[in-house]
Amino acid sequence: MGLIDDENFKRVLKRSLKEEEEEKQEKSEGSGGFKKMMEKILHSRTQIHIFHLQTKSYAEHIALNEFYDGVIGLFDGLVESYQGKYGIITNYECDGFEDYSSGEQVIKYLKDLESSIEDLRKSVKESYLQNQIDTVEELINSTLYKLRFLK
């Protein structure tokens, strides 16, 4: 009977270690919502830079410059904090980019970005990561203010 118990114990331990390794792999690839959020923030840096280069409005040009200059440092800090705990995120994906057509387009883009981040942040439990996400949303909403009211 002791041999059977030992075999069952080994089987359970092996399954438990395998599940733990799969969970670690999922986290290192960026658990669903967090990885998707990081992809959106990373994408926003280049998309906003494109809008910045194509707008003919000086006020938009300056506001968008402040966004893309600020977001990359916030992105780095957020990803590095996450990776320090869970491992390196791999397999980033990126959507295509749009040309500038109007200030309303840029405002809609930033509102959609903020809404996506607000939804995706639910996948994050750690308060220090939530605080860093707050700072990203602060930058988005500050940029929206400048685009909407400081023309």
Residue span of the structural domain in which 61 resides? 31-149
Q: Does 71 lie in the same domain as 1?
A: no
Q: Does 72 lie in the same domain as 8?
A: no
pLDDT (0 to 100) of residue 6 = 74
- What CATH number does the domain containing 119 carry? 1.20.1260.10
Q: Does 45 lie in the same domain as 12?
A: no
Burial string for 16-31 (b: 16+ CB within 10 Å, else e) reads eeeeeeeeeeebbbbb
Pull the structure tokens for residue 27.
């986290």
Q: How many CB atoms lie within 10 A of CB 51?
A: 27
Domain count, the chain: 2
- Each residue's pLDDT, cut to its tens digit, for the chain (151 residues) gives 555 677 777 776 676 666 666 555 554 444 789 999 999 999 999 999 999 999 999 999 999 999 999 999 999 999 999 999 999 999 999 999 999 999 999 999 999 999 999 999 999 999 999 999 999 999 999 999 999 999 8
pLDDT (0 to 100) of residue 1 = 52
pLDDT (0 to 100) of residue 151 = 86
Q: Does 58 lie in the same domain as 13?
A: no
Q: Does 59 lie in the same domain as 2?
A: no
H helix runs in the chain, sequence order: 2-28, 32-54, 58-86, 103-120, 127-149
Q: Does 83 lie in the same domain as 40?
A: yes
